[in-house]
Structure 1
Amino acid sequence: MGLTSRSLLYTVVLVAVLCVVLTVWLWPRMAGRGVLPVLGRLGAILVTQLTILSSLLLAVNSANSFYGTWGELVGKYDRAPGRITPVTGGGGAGTVDAGQGGLVRPAGTEGQGGMNFPKGPKEKVGAVESVRLVGRRSGVVEPALVYLPPQYFQEQYKRHRFPVIVAISGYPGGVDSLSKHLQVPKTASDLLAEKKMQPTVIVMLRPTIQPPRDTECVDVPDGPQAQTYFTHDVPEALRSAYRVGHQASAWAALGYSSGGTCALELALRQPKVYPVAAALSPDYRIHNDATTGNLFGGGEEGKQRKREHDLFWRLENLPVPRVSLLVTSSKQGEKNFKDTEKFVRAAKDKPLTVAQMILESGSHNFTTWRREIGPALEWTSKQLVFPQDVQN
């Protein structure tokens, strides 16, 4: 039985219940003071506790896909990079006053230990800046890490504008997860050195703009305007401070877990801002839960807003934009595998372009996503235009 199979969970739960029943039934018979009765009671307690704990751990793992196989549980991970397969045809696989500080403000370096920043001269490996982005429309000031490729500092590129990948972490992860655990800046620097990726600015963000609430890149009625932040505030702030492309053909969204869901939502809902999206282990629907609260409002309008955040419903009922999407999953270990297959099938007769990266096994964790991030960055970069334009 597989580690995440229902049959294993139900079997262990049944064993736990039987152990409790047997302990209660046999306890009077082990009431003596000798060595054997004492060992019997200790053994009954130990076995009962072990089976109950195993049931709980299996249930938590099944719900969150931390480990997908027995091999992963004992530390045997496949670390080979994933392979991208084209699926469909096409051309490629409230306000805040900016004040004198501008829309991009320097932030401190506290808490950045072990961030996996590329090491070396910025003209050769690039550089990472820790900043805060001011959202004039959404009314928030959010932390971000901005990776500038080595070409950004080289004389021959001083008049060029660079493409941008907006990388979004999962919830409740922060921008540090993208650098420390997913190793986005280091991976991008290595790909650039190997000439597998064109020079690209990468801005790393978290998906929520009102922590601890999970805002899921949604404009909440009478609440936080997360979609506005990603589609208006972030591009405006970055264009005000960096040499980045002004046209949509230079912009992409990328994310893992709920950040991957955000990337797909942004591309399909706002294709004139993000015509390219790469989603590692995404969901294809956004639901209300204990961490999100009510994202869509009430009444018929709320129901319609919720339907519009169901990507299967969008593909079936709304005009489909010409965007390029990459989705990833694994046959064993990821709960979204069947939905990923369903999404790919639904997209085949649509004008969008879809590619997929399907691993044989890999759970919902950074070990899996690190296998995917290199190919995903390479694929995303190739969809973008560089140099988009040249400064006068």
Structure 2
Amino acid sequence: MGLTGQGLLVLLAVVAAGCVAATVWVWPRLARRHWTAVLGRLGTLVATQLAALAALGVAGNDYFGFYASWDDLLGTGGGGQPVAVQDHFRAAAGWRPQDPSGTATGVEHLGTLPVGGPGGPRQSGLLEHVRISGGASGISSDGYVYLPPQYFQPQEAHRRLPAAVVLTGYPGDARNLVTRLDYPGTELREVQAGRMRPTVLVMLRPTVAPPRDTECVDVPGGPQAETYFARDVPRAVAAAYRVASGPRSWGVIGDSTGGYCALSLTLRHPDAYGAAVSLSGYYRAAHDPTTGDLFHGSARLHRGHDLMWRLRHLPAPDVPVLVTTSRQGEADYRATRAFIAAARPPLRVSSITLPSGGHNFHTWELEIPVALPWLAEHLRGD
């Protein structure tokens, strides 16, 4: 039985309710002062509490999407072999992928999902479940690619669209970018309303070596997450889809850890990404039990991933970035104001500041319909 979905949640809820009923039923029989009765009372209380906590934990995981599977939770999953594919819609558009430099980088097509809009791909676009594998990093990660309707329209057949990488928080689940934050539906509505340029969305999570939080960093002797997102992902997507190349055609947007990654990737690799949006992100790589020592004690590497240090000591890249926060409810409000104050040309910083809003999906649902068109406005296709 899978970790997510209604099956396990219903089962645990039934078990928890059964434990409560059983405790009420047997409690009078355990009222004696004998040691066996004491152990019996203790056992029923522990069983009831564990069952309730398990049900609440699964419900919370299902809502927030922390872990997508048992392998994800336990850190026992393995990546698949990279397979480059091309679907019939791209073939019908009269375009053929280029050779991805002979590396093992590729996009494996795992399925097609409904977008939720009317009509077929020419009216609502297409959502693909994919696995993107990187030859430079050796990392494979599952995600989703949204191709807007313009990708399939005959008059746009020879146009290469801009692309945006969309990242979750940690540990996250890329599926939440579709089911909870509805990036494809948001783009479809904004494009149809004339408020957004058509953009290919590449939806991933930054947790590429679960359960470790790599903070989109190349860990010495460990996961090369920065290389994966800065080099492998754009290369693989450009080889498999009709998207424009070059940093001015690529952007990255993310929430929480994904927001930090968006800023870090763009400030550190302006040759890969030309714009970034950070939704409730932070400004230096985290260091806690989920990350371990990402820099192996290297002060130089640690400084390099401290975005405030970069603004104060290194030349600013010529890129636009958008940061979001809330005056009440977000712990990053002061840090965000400090980041804005420290920015200097040619770096261009815009911001969204809500009066109140927590570090959660509801806040990001309010910001994405503004932030996603902002990002697309700063990208260009061919």
With normalisation by structure 1, the TM-score equals 0.70
- Which structure has the bigger radius of gyration? 1
The residue that corresponds to 2:217 in the other structure is 218
What is the distance in 2 between the residues matched to 1:233 and 1:249? 17
Asked if structure 2 preserves the Cα contact closer than 8 Å seen for 1:116 and 1:180, the reply is no
Cα deviation, residue 310, structure 1: 0.9
Question: In the TM superposition, what whole-angstrom CA distance separates every residue of 1:141-182 from its partner, at most 9, and x where no partner exists?
Answer: 210100001000000001010100100001111111111111
Q: Residue 324 and residue 189 in structure 1: after superposition, are their counterparts in 2 closer, same or farther (change >3 A)?
A: same
Q: Which residue of 2 aligns with 1:177?
A: 176
Indicate yes or no: 2:228 matched with 1:229: yes
- In 2: Cα distance, 1:168 partner to 1:252 partner: 11
Contact 1:151-1:157 at 8 Å conserved across structures: yes
Q: Cα distance, 1:121 vs. partner?
A: 1.8
AA aligned to 1:318 is L
Residue 75 of structure 1: aligned partner: none
Structure 2 CA distance, aligned partners of 1:119 and 1:315?
Answer: 46
State the secondary structure of the residue aligned to 2:321.
strand
Q: In structure 1, what is the equivalent of residue 319 of structure 2?
A: 323
Give how far 1:120 is off: 3.2
Residue 290 to residue 378, structure 1, CA distance change in 2 (3 Å): same
RMSD: 1.9
Q: 1:306 to 1:107 in 2, by over 3 A?
A: same
Counterpart for residue 358 of structure 1: 353
Structure 1 contact 123–153 (Cα < 8 Å) conserved: yes
1:118 CA displacement:
3.9
Mapped partners of 2:81, 2:129: distance in 1: 21
Q: Which has the higher contact order (CA 8 A, sep 6+)?
A: 1
> Which position in structure 1 is the counterpart of 2:280?
281
- Output the CA distance in 1 between the equivalents of 2:116 and 2:126: 8
Structure 2: runs of 5 or more not aligned: 1-63, 65-79, 86-104
In 2, the alpha carbon distance for the partners of 1:152 and 1:332 equals 41
2:254 is matched with 255
Question: Is 2:107 the partner of 1:104?
Answer: yes
Question: Counterpart of 1:152?
Answer: 151
Superposed CA offset, 1:321-351 (max 9, x none): 111000000001000001111100001x332
Alpha-carbon distance between aligned partners in 2 of 1:194 and 1:159, rounded to the nearest angstrom = 23
Structure 1 counterpart of 2:177, one-letter code: L
Q: Return the alpha-carbon distance in structure 2 between the equivalents of residues 97 and 185 of structure 1.
A: 27
Does 2:334 correspond to 1:338?
A: yes
CA distance, structure 1, for counterparts of residue 341 and residue 223 of structure 2: 34
Contact 2:115 2:127 in 1 (8 A): no
Shift of 1:303: 1.1
Note if 1:305 corresponds to 2:301: yes
Q: Which of 307, 310, 314 is 2:310 aligned to? A: 314
Q: Given that residues 212 and 290 in structure 2 are in contact (C-alpha distance below 8 angstroms), is that contact kept between their aligned partners in structure 1? A: yes
- Tell me, in whole angstroms, the C-alpha distance in 2 between the residues paired with 1:232 and 1:363: 33
- The total of aligned residue pairs comes to 286
CA contact (8 A) 1:248 1:273 kept: yes
Structure 1 unaligned blocks of 5 or more: 1-65, 67-95
After TM superposition, give the deviation of residue 117 of structure 1 in Å: 4.5
Q: TM-score, normalised by structure 2?
A: 0.72
Specify the code of the residue in structure 2 equivalent to 1:191.
E
- 1:213 deviation in Å? 0.7
Q: 2:363 aligns with which of 350, 363, 368?
A: 368
Q: Distance in 2 between matches of 1:141 and 1:384?
A: 26
What secondary structure does 1:197 align onto?
A: coil
